[in-house]
Structure 1
Amino acid sequence: MRVVFGIDVSKASSEVAVFVDTNKTISYSITNDAIGFSRLLEDLKTISSPEIIFEATGVYSRRLQAFLEENHYSYVRLNPLDSKKQMDGLRVRKTDKIDAEKLALIQVNSNRKPTYIQEEVYNELRNLSRFYQNMTEDIVRTKNRLHKVLQLTFSEIEGILSTPSGEQYWNLILEFPSKNEVLALSPEEITEKIKNSTSKRISEQRISDLVNKLQELANQSYCAVKKNSCMIEEVRYYAKELLRLTQHRQSILDEMVTLAEPLPEYEILLSIPGIAKTTATSIIGELGDIRRFKTPNQINAFIGIDLRHYESGDYLAREHITKRGNPYARKILFKCIHNIASASRTKPCHIADFYEKRKRQSPKGSTKPHAIASMHRLIRTIHYLITHNKLYDYNIAKSR
């Protein structure tokens, strides 16, 4: 006798349908909190080996998942696309109650294997990876806002350093948000402010060059706002925010590295030329335990670079990647290919060799086709190295 719990998860509540073999015995609603889950637990305890199936609904299903894992129950977590394809053929009407019943019937008919439950460290790395990427997005957004406001207060200061970014640049903006703060001070006073604005040691010659450059830029500048404009304070606010965000983001990265270092795949990923600490921890965070994937093609589908093929009669459509998968992992691996290609000047890699070969074969100006093909080769390499617990070796890789 098989007892299946189909659970349709919504934001605040869930519908539960219980089937014994192919017959529904009971259905009810629970709230997605301790009270609702205790009600579900009472029923689960009455069954020796219950089968539980639900659809992954982002953050809403995570609480149910955590509850089941804490109470040591295995479960089947369906991909939303997979769930939709199967349930569309089973239902005529759609309600949460009907969806719970259909989920249970899917399990009754297909008898899916329980979802692989990763160690907690992989879940924490995923959460930190998303946090890190959100912080990066906030930094980019704040940089754009700072640039916009600086055009009205002191746009010339963007030329003070080779790159208008980084701790030293933002500290300079904090001290000199407009040309008036420069022109009102003597060279000695500007020198003292620059020294006090950074914790890093700067040579006297470097400080002297910065003072001269600041005065030159201030004399060239034409400020579009008054000395007491609120936009001066806005410039300082964005500079402070960028300093705070970058420091916080670095602390997140440090925590990710601390969690990832004991994992054997961390050193394996670092052995691939072009992959540094940030990329290695992000790959682990987004892909999780790579050993749960039986083939590299499963990883392709997981991140959405598997190809969509359409053929009808004499018509053959151009193949495109599905993009149905983890967009964060896809973005990380896409950037990783370019890092590997750049590092190949001093650290050879068979993936970079393949990338350059496909690049020469691709139409001029086209970048994605050979990058996607290189991503697939990188995934194959990562999967092989991790599942066989081997470090990367260029001489072995290029001969395969």
Structure 2
Amino acid sequence: MTDTEDRTATKGGAAGRAAADAAPELDPQAARAALRRCRRIIVKIGSKSLSGDAWDRLAAEVAALRGRSGRSLVIVSSGAIALGVAKLGLKSRPKDMAWLQAAAAAGQSVLMQRYEEAFGKVGLLVAQVLLTHADLADRTRTNNARNALAALLEAGAIPIINENDAVAVEEIKFGDNDQLAAMVTPLCEADLLILLSDVEGLLDGDGRRVPFVRSVAREARHLAGASTSGVGTGGMASKVEAARRATLAGSHVVIGAAREAGIITRIVSGEDVGTLFAAVPQRLSARKHWIAYTLRPRGAILVDRGAAEAIGSKNRSILAVGVLGVRGTFLPGDAVAVVDPDGTEIARGLARMSASDAARTARKKREEAGDDDVVVHRDDLVVLPSE
């Protein structure tokens, strides 16, 4: 682990749970006021919001914010596949993987051309950054991406980040840029993530905007639905989950309407627009956020109640004696889910041993298991926030 990986490190493996427990005490007015102090901002804009003069309006707002306050901005942009569909003369977004990749390849150059033209008019440079989940799942490549983004921001450029859909097979089928934006948040050390959409924010059962969310589990998740636009792959459910993950990285998150004039400026000014998810008081370090919310578990470790308690409240490692069994096939260094006797996932971590070795040593004390009976070390373990 390098210094740059954990400049926002928190103490204790139960940081996520402690942060979630503290979140309900957040004050909406104080949280809105905090937006005015945000210095590094990520703006995610979806496919349906990129039409007409959207690029010009976005460029004008970014230029105004940069000029007045010196804030740095990063854009996570959808749109390559949608533009490629039009360029290739297709009637609708294809379902076949090869055609999706073809549309992404055809549309990516058009997307960047639109950004270059719009931002060039206001004197700003843009730089294309294409990422796949495999890039962010590898720690060395993640750090390389972090350093490249830092250099671009230092040079005064606006990074335009998108998934490399032309080669990322699984990401087209399962991923979306809301989740990419949440993963990029700790990478850029952003303190504000703005998720622009075709609606004014999270809506309640009567169609009214929800201005502030303290708890995603209690207040937001049941209100979110899937995408119905036929253009993008995300939806409100994806945005709410992305908001939850980004707040755990220490970033405020606002879901707002891309069509509203000056929406980014109004959010940064602390106006009551969109739906605000406030950053948790005690953030996860970049590395622990990566373990919990970027890596995909290769298997699961089932622990007994004593081990579950030690993990959740005492920041203890998972020892062989507390393991009931394993699921899946994993090797040392792979990400694993940690499950309690009730079947609830309580943590994620990096395995110190393979699935076969963990199964062989399960329930055994150190004298039986051998000198190294640590299945997951506490330094590689992240307690998930209590729902």
TM score, norm. by length of structure 1: 0.22
Bigger Rg, which one: 1
